[in-house]
């Protein structure tokens, strides 16, 4: 899975090749100080923000072009992922403002644009109960839209992990249907075998996701550009 650490590693190597000096910090919310000659040009935060200390337009252009090269090399999301993104509700998370792409009873999927990373996606678990001041937790960050959507579908209960790499949810459902028909049609089936089959059916049904009244799958298809 693509990560911030992977981005910074590639980005800093490219900056050094263009003539900048990079002093990695990883202290508090800072990741690095970027120097142009002896002067401190800017600081880079862990969230991908740029804080300029000695602003220069040409150096800014060079830095942003280098960031674009890193995004392209790592295949980070650079194009607007959803047509109506800026019309969606916003939510604050870890000091940044995100658009709420979709929400279920248990999870939420967020998205924001970042100067360095491009489009960043986050899936979170929703905290239950009014006594919890923090409403979202267990954040997972993605820089690939498809991976983020799959994470949300799984965390929101719209999908489930396969029992094996070659066994899908649809195939599990088909097996349940076949076993149910077998129990109904075989008049010679003894009670012990029937009980074992019913137990197998219950176990398979337990791993299948509930069918929500509204699924985000069609939303992802319709809103994607």
225 residues of the chain, pLDDT tens digit each? 688 999 999 999 999 999 999 999 877 789 999 999 999 999 999 889 999 998 899 999 999 999 999 999 999 999 888 888 888 889 888 888 999 988 888 888 999 999 899 999 999 888 776 666 667 778 899 999 988 888 888 887 776 555 455 667 777 778 888 888 887 877 777 777 888 888 788 777 776 665 554 556 555 655 655
Distance of CA 130 to the CA centre of its chain: 26
Spell out the domain ranges in the chain.
4-74, 85-159, 169-207
Q: Is the dihedral of CA 54, 59, 64, 66 positive or negative?
A: negative
pTM: 0.68
Conformational region of residue 191, where left means phi above 0, alpha means psi within -120 to 50, and beta covers everything else? alpha
When computed from its CA atoms, the radius of gyration of the chain, rounded to whole angstroms, is: 24
CATH 3.40.1130 for domain 4-74: no
């Amino acid at each position: 899975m693509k990560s911030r650490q992977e981005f910074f590693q590639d980005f800093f190597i490219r900056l050094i090749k263009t003539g900048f000096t990079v002093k990695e910090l990883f202290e508090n919310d800072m990741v690095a100080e970027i120097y142009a000659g002896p002067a401190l040009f800017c600081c880079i935060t862990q969230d991908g923000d740029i804080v300029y200390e000695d602003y220069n337009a040409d150096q800014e252009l060079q830095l942003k072009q280098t960031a674009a090269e890193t995004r392209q090399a790592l295949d980070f999301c650079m194009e607007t992922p959803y047509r109506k993104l800026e019309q969606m509700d916003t939510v604050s998370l870890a000091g940044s403002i995100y658009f709420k792409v979709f929400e279920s009873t248990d999870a939420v999927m967020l998205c924001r644009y970042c100067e360095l990373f491009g489009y960043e996606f986050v899936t979170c678990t929703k905290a239950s109960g009014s006594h919890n001041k923090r409403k979202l937790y267990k954040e997972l960050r993605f820089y690939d839209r498809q991976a983020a959507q799959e994470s949300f579908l799984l965390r929101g209960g719209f999908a489930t992990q396969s029992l094996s790499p070659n066994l899908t949810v649809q195939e599990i459902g088909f097996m349940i249907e076949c076993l149910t028909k077998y129990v109904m049609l075989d008049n010679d089936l003894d009670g012990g075998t029937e009980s074992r089959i019913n137990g197998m059916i219950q176990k398979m049904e337990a791993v299948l996701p509930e069918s929500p009244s509204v699924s985000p799958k069609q939303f992802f298809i319709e809103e994607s550009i």
